[in-house]
C-alpha cells in the first residue's frame, strides 16, 4: 500500500510539473508576441514623431509667408520643396520626382521666393495647399505647395 501511494504521488507530481512547464512556455510565447507588437508600435510612433514637422503640411492650407518659412526651415535637410504658383513651378533646396518621390539632388540655382521681380515670387498673402511626397521606402522626400 505504501509503494502504490508513493507511485501515485510521483505520477501526480510529474503531471503537475508538466502542466506548469507547458503553462510557462505558453506565457513566454504570448509575452514575446506582445513585446514584438509593442516594439512595432513604438517604432511607428517614433517615425511619426520624427516626421511631424513635415507631415503637418500634408493637406493643409497655408499662407505664402508660411511657404517661405518652410523653404528656409528645411534648407539644410535632404528634402525638396516644390512651389506651384499661377505663373511657374519652382524647386527649392532639393528636387524630387513628383510621381515616384525619388530624390533627385540639390537644385543648382537657388531662387529667392521673396524677390517680387522674380518669376518664382511667392506672394505672402496667397493661400497654398500642401502635399507631402514619399518615395518607395515611405521616406518623405518633398513637399508640394500649390496655389
Instruction: Please state, rounded to an integer, the average pLDDT across all residues of the chain.
Output: 87
- Give pLDDT, residue 81: 93
Strand order across the beta sheet in which 89-92 lies: 61-63, 127-134, 140-146, 80-84, 89-92
Please measure the distance between the N-terminal and C-terminal CA atoms of the chain and give it in whole angstroms.
95
Mark whether 95 and 23 lie in a shared domain: no
Mark whether 26 and 78 lie in a shared domain: no
pLDDT > 80? residue 38: yes
Pick the last residue of a domain from 17, 32, 50: 50
With bands split at pLDDT 50, 70 and 90, how would you rate the model's confidence at 143? very high
**54-98 per-position pLDDT tens digit:** 888 989 999 999 999 999 998 888 899 999 998 888 999 888 888
Mark whether 138 and 78 lie in a shared domain: yes
Mark whether 104 and 121 lie in a shared domain: yes
- Give pLDDT, residue 145: 96
CA-to-CA distance for 91 and 79, rounded, in angstroms? 10
The values of phi and psi at residue 97, to 5°, are: -80, 125
The number of distinct structural domains making up the chain is 2
**Range with the lowest mean pLDDT among 78-92, 100-114, 123-137?**
100-114
Mark whether 79 and 131 lie in a shared domain: yes
pLDDT > 90? residue 100: no
* Residue percentage of the chain with pLDDT more than 70: 99
Domain carrying residue 27: 1-50
Mark whether 92 and 132 lie in a shared domain: yes
pTM of the model: 0.68
Asked if 64 and 83 count as a contact pair (C-beta separation under 8 A), the reply is: no
Mark whether 112 and 73 lie in a shared domain: yes
Mark whether 111 and 131 lie in a shared domain: yes
- Give pLDDT, residue 1: 62
Mark whether 46 and 95 lie in a shared domain: no
Mark whether 41 and 68 lie in a shared domain: no
Mark whether 29 and 92 lie in a shared domain: no
- Give pLDDT, residue 139: 86
Amino acid at each position: 500500500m505504501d509503494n502504490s501511494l508513493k507511485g501515485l504521488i510521483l505520477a501526480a507530481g510529474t503531471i503537475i510539473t508538466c502542466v506548469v512547464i507547458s503553462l510557462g512556455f505558453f506565457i513566454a510565447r504570448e509575452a514575446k508576441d506582445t513585446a514584438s507588437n509593442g516594439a512595432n508600435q513604438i517604432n511607428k510612433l517614433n517615425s511619426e514623431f520624427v516626421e511631424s514637422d513635415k507631415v503637418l503640411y500634408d493637406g493643409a492650407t497655408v499662407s505664402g509667408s508660411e511657404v517661405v518659412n518652410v523653404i528656409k526651415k528645411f534648407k539644410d535637410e535632404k528634402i525638396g520643396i516644390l512651389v506651384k504658383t499661377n505663373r511657374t513651378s519652382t524647386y527649392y533646396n532639393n528636387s524630387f520626382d513628383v510621381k515616384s518621390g525619388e530624390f533627385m539632388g540639390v537644385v543648382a540655382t537657388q531662387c529667392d521666393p521673396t524677390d517680387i521681380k522674380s518669376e518664382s515670387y511667392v506672394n505672402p498673402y496667397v493661400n497654398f495647399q500642401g502635399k507631402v511626397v514619399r518615395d518607395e521606402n515611405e521616406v518623405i522626400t518633398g513637399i508640394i505647395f500649390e496655389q
